[in-house]
Amino acid sequence: MREEAERLIVHLDEDLAVIEKPAGLVVHSAPSHKGQTLVDLLDDVLGGGEGERPGIVHRLDKDTSGLMMVARNEKSHRELARMVKAREVMREYTALVEGRLDSRTGTIDAPLGRHRRQRTKRAVKGSGSRDARTHFEVIETLPGDTLAHARLETGRTHQIRVHFAAIWHPVAGDPEYGTRGRHGLNRQFLHASRLEFTHPGTGETLSFTSELPPELATTLERARQG
Protein backbone atom coordinates (compact mmCIF):
# COMPACT_ATOMS: atom_id res chain seq x y z
CA MET A 1 0.00 0.00 0.00
CA ARG A 2 2.91 2.34 0.72
CA GLU A 3 4.22 1.99 -2.84
CA GLU A 4 0.77 2.74 -4.21
CA ALA A 5 0.59 5.88 -2.07
CA GLU A 6 4.05 7.05 -3.08
CA ARG A 7 3.08 6.88 -6.75
CA LEU A 8 0.40 9.51 -6.11
CA ILE A 9 2.77 12.10 -4.63
CA VAL A 10 3.76 15.04 -6.84
CA HIS A 11 5.36 17.18 -4.11
CA LEU A 12 6.33 16.39 -0.54
CA ASP A 13 7.86 18.42 2.30
CA GLU A 14 7.53 18.50 6.08
CA ASP A 15 4.41 20.67 5.99
CA LEU A 16 2.34 19.43 3.06
CA ALA A 17 2.04 17.24 0.02
CA VAL A 18 0.47 17.64 -3.39
CA ILE A 19 -0.96 14.41 -4.75
CA GLU A 20 -2.76 13.21 -7.87
CA LYS A 21 -5.94 11.44 -6.84
CA PRO A 22 -7.09 8.71 -9.22
CA ALA A 23 -10.73 8.43 -10.18
CA GLY A 24 -12.71 5.89 -8.19
CA LEU A 25 -11.11 6.67 -4.83
CA VAL A 26 -13.17 8.28 -2.05
CA VAL A 27 -11.30 10.99 -0.12
CA HIS A 28 -12.86 10.47 3.35
CA SER A 29 -14.75 7.65 4.99
CA ALA A 30 -18.51 8.07 5.21
CA PRO A 31 -21.45 5.97 6.45
CA SER A 32 -22.35 5.14 2.84
CA HIS A 33 -18.83 3.99 1.92
CA LYS A 34 -17.04 0.83 2.93
CA GLY A 35 -13.46 0.24 1.86
CA GLN A 36 -10.21 2.09 1.45
CA THR A 37 -10.14 5.88 1.25
CA LEU A 38 -7.50 8.35 0.11
CA VAL A 39 -6.71 9.25 3.72
CA ASP A 40 -6.20 5.56 4.55
CA LEU A 41 -3.89 5.14 1.59
CA LEU A 42 -1.76 8.18 2.44
CA ASP A 43 -1.63 7.67 6.20
CA ASP A 44 1.68 5.77 6.39
CA VAL A 45 3.44 8.16 4.03
CA LEU A 46 2.02 11.53 5.05
CA GLY A 47 1.02 11.13 8.70
CA GLY A 48 2.46 13.99 10.69
CA GLY A 49 3.44 11.99 13.76
CA GLU A 50 1.86 11.88 17.23
CA GLY A 51 -1.23 10.27 15.76
CA GLU A 52 -1.84 13.02 13.20
CA ARG A 53 -3.39 11.81 9.95
CA PRO A 54 -3.06 13.56 6.58
CA GLY A 55 -5.25 16.66 6.69
CA ILE A 56 -7.54 17.09 3.70
CA VAL A 57 -7.81 20.77 2.81
CA HIS A 58 -10.13 20.50 -0.18
CA ARG A 59 -11.88 17.56 -1.78
CA LEU A 60 -12.45 15.97 -5.15
CA ASP A 61 -15.49 13.85 -5.95
CA LYS A 62 -14.91 10.10 -6.03
CA ASP A 63 -14.84 9.95 -9.83
CA THR A 64 -12.94 13.20 -10.38
CA SER A 65 -9.18 12.82 -10.74
CA GLY A 66 -6.30 15.23 -10.32
CA LEU A 67 -4.35 17.49 -8.02
CA MET A 68 -5.05 17.97 -4.32
CA MET A 69 -3.27 19.63 -1.37
CA VAL A 70 -2.81 17.57 1.78
CA ALA A 71 -1.56 19.10 5.06
CA ARG A 72 0.89 17.15 7.24
CA ASN A 73 0.40 19.09 10.48
CA GLU A 74 -2.27 21.17 12.16
CA LYS A 75 -0.54 24.52 11.58
CA SER A 76 -0.31 23.92 7.83
CA HIS A 77 -3.87 22.65 7.73
CA ARG A 78 -5.19 25.84 9.36
CA GLU A 79 -3.28 28.11 6.98
CA LEU A 80 -4.11 26.18 3.82
CA ALA A 81 -7.78 26.04 4.82
CA ARG A 82 -7.70 29.80 5.43
CA MET A 83 -6.22 30.37 1.96
CA VAL A 84 -8.90 28.24 0.31
CA LYS A 85 -11.64 30.13 2.17
CA ALA A 86 -10.04 33.46 1.24
CA ARG A 87 -9.88 32.34 -2.41
CA GLU A 88 -6.11 32.58 -2.51
CA VAL A 89 -5.67 29.10 -4.02
CA MET A 90 -5.98 28.74 -7.80
CA ARG A 91 -7.78 25.50 -8.70
CA GLU A 92 -8.33 24.80 -12.38
CA TYR A 93 -9.99 21.77 -13.97
CA THR A 94 -10.09 20.36 -17.47
CA ALA A 95 -13.61 19.35 -18.46
CA LEU A 96 -15.28 17.96 -21.54
CA VAL A 97 -18.84 19.24 -21.66
CA GLU A 98 -21.73 18.30 -23.91
CA GLY A 99 -22.54 20.60 -26.83
CA ARG A 100 -20.90 23.84 -27.89
CA LEU A 101 -20.56 26.73 -25.47
CA ASP A 102 -21.87 30.04 -26.77
CA SER A 103 -18.82 32.08 -25.68
CA ARG A 104 -15.10 31.45 -25.40
CA THR A 105 -14.97 32.66 -21.81
CA GLY A 106 -17.54 33.24 -19.13
CA THR A 107 -18.58 33.03 -15.51
CA ILE A 108 -21.37 30.89 -14.11
CA ASP A 109 -22.64 32.69 -11.02
CA ALA A 110 -25.40 30.66 -9.40
CA PRO A 111 -25.88 29.76 -5.72
CA LEU A 112 -25.79 26.06 -4.88
CA GLY A 113 -27.47 24.02 -2.18
CA ARG A 114 -28.75 20.54 -1.49
CA HIS A 115 -31.26 19.15 -3.98
CA ARG A 116 -34.70 19.27 -2.38
CA ARG A 117 -35.73 15.75 -3.45
CA GLN A 118 -32.47 13.86 -4.04
CA ARG A 119 -30.31 14.44 -0.97
CA THR A 120 -27.05 13.19 -2.52
CA LYS A 121 -27.25 15.81 -5.27
CA ARG A 122 -26.78 19.57 -5.39
CA ALA A 123 -28.88 22.09 -7.26
CA VAL A 124 -28.94 25.77 -8.19
CA LYS A 125 -30.91 27.58 -5.47
CA GLY A 126 -31.25 24.32 -3.55
CA SER A 127 -31.77 24.01 0.19
CA GLY A 128 -29.29 26.09 2.17
CA SER A 129 -27.85 27.69 -0.97
CA ARG A 130 -24.51 29.48 -0.80
CA ASP A 131 -22.86 31.69 -3.41
CA ALA A 132 -20.93 29.82 -6.10
CA ARG A 133 -18.93 31.06 -9.09
CA THR A 134 -17.13 29.11 -11.80
CA HIS A 135 -15.05 30.79 -14.51
CA PHE A 136 -14.50 28.92 -17.77
CA GLU A 137 -12.46 29.23 -20.95
CA VAL A 138 -12.90 27.14 -24.08
CA ILE A 139 -9.82 25.19 -25.14
CA GLU A 140 -11.23 23.36 -28.16
CA THR A 141 -14.58 23.01 -29.89
CA LEU A 142 -15.33 19.45 -30.98
CA PRO A 143 -18.11 18.01 -33.20
CA GLY A 144 -20.51 17.42 -30.32
CA ASP A 145 -18.66 18.65 -27.23
CA THR A 146 -16.43 21.40 -25.87
CA LEU A 147 -13.12 21.00 -24.06
CA ALA A 148 -12.75 23.74 -21.47
CA HIS A 149 -10.83 24.90 -18.45
CA ALA A 150 -12.96 25.64 -15.40
CA ARG A 151 -11.54 27.68 -12.52
CA LEU A 152 -13.18 27.66 -9.12
CA GLU A 153 -13.73 30.94 -7.32
CA THR A 154 -15.75 29.13 -4.66
CA GLY A 155 -15.59 25.43 -3.91
CA ARG A 156 -19.06 24.02 -3.32
CA THR A 157 -19.88 20.33 -3.53
CA HIS A 158 -20.29 19.22 -7.19
CA GLN A 159 -19.90 22.88 -8.20
CA ILE A 160 -18.47 22.52 -11.72
CA ARG A 161 -20.76 19.61 -12.53
CA VAL A 162 -23.93 21.40 -11.40
CA HIS A 163 -22.95 24.73 -12.95
CA PHE A 164 -22.33 23.30 -16.42
CA ALA A 165 -25.52 21.26 -16.22
CA ALA A 166 -27.40 24.44 -15.28
CA ILE A 167 -26.39 26.10 -18.57
CA TRP A 168 -27.39 22.94 -20.51
CA HIS A 169 -23.84 21.72 -21.08
CA PRO A 170 -23.29 18.96 -18.50
CA VAL A 171 -19.89 17.38 -18.02
CA ALA A 172 -19.55 14.44 -20.41
CA GLY A 173 -20.24 11.08 -18.79
CA ASP A 174 -21.61 12.58 -15.57
CA PRO A 175 -24.02 9.95 -14.19
CA GLU A 176 -25.75 12.43 -11.84
CA TYR A 177 -26.17 15.56 -13.94
CA GLY A 178 -25.48 14.53 -17.53
CA THR A 179 -25.48 11.54 -19.87
CA ARG A 180 -24.10 8.39 -18.31
CA GLY A 181 -21.68 6.52 -20.59
CA ARG A 182 -21.20 9.31 -23.14
CA HIS A 183 -18.26 8.40 -25.42
CA GLY A 184 -17.94 5.16 -23.46
CA LEU A 185 -17.04 6.95 -20.22
CA ASN A 186 -17.61 5.23 -16.89
CA ARG A 187 -16.98 8.48 -14.98
CA GLN A 188 -17.40 12.21 -15.52
CA PHE A 189 -14.76 13.87 -17.71
CA LEU A 190 -13.40 16.18 -15.02
CA HIS A 191 -9.75 16.41 -14.02
CA ALA A 192 -8.10 18.83 -11.56
CA SER A 193 -5.29 19.86 -13.86
CA ARG A 194 -3.73 22.93 -12.25
CA LEU A 195 -3.08 24.01 -8.66
CA GLU A 196 -1.25 27.12 -7.47
CA PHE A 197 -0.84 28.46 -3.94
CA THR A 198 1.61 30.01 -1.47
CA HIS A 199 3.48 27.60 0.75
CA PRO A 200 2.29 28.25 4.32
CA GLY A 201 5.77 27.84 5.76
CA THR A 202 8.20 29.29 3.22
CA GLY A 203 6.01 31.82 1.39
CA GLU A 204 7.11 30.32 -1.92
CA THR A 205 4.62 30.18 -4.78
CA LEU A 206 3.99 26.56 -5.71
CA SER A 207 2.45 25.73 -9.08
CA PHE A 208 1.57 22.28 -10.40
CA THR A 209 -0.03 20.92 -13.56
CA SER A 210 -1.36 17.47 -14.36
CA GLU A 211 -1.96 15.82 -17.73
CA LEU A 212 -5.19 14.00 -18.49
CA PRO A 213 -5.11 10.39 -17.30
CA PRO A 214 -5.04 7.79 -20.11
CA GLU A 215 -8.77 6.98 -20.05
CA LEU A 216 -9.70 10.65 -20.48
CA ALA A 217 -7.08 11.23 -23.15
CA THR A 218 -8.51 8.27 -25.10
CA THR A 219 -12.04 9.63 -24.66
CA LEU A 220 -10.94 13.03 -25.93
CA GLU A 221 -9.60 11.49 -29.13
CA ARG A 222 -12.89 9.62 -29.58
CA ALA A 223 -14.84 12.86 -29.10
CA ARG A 224 -12.65 14.64 -31.66
CA GLN A 225 -13.72 12.06 -34.21
CA GLY A 226 -17.36 12.75 -33.46
44 is catalytic: no
Distance CA 205, CA 179 (A): 38
Under DSSP, the state recorded for 7 is H
Q: E-strand spans in the chain?
A: 9-12, 16-21, 55-56, 65-71, 90-98, 105-109, 112-114, 122-124, 127-130, 133-141, 145-152, 190-198, 205-209
Q: Is 4 left (phi over 0), alpha (psi -120 to 50) or beta?
A: alpha
List the catalytic residue out of 13, 40, 43, 61.
61
Catalytic positions: 61
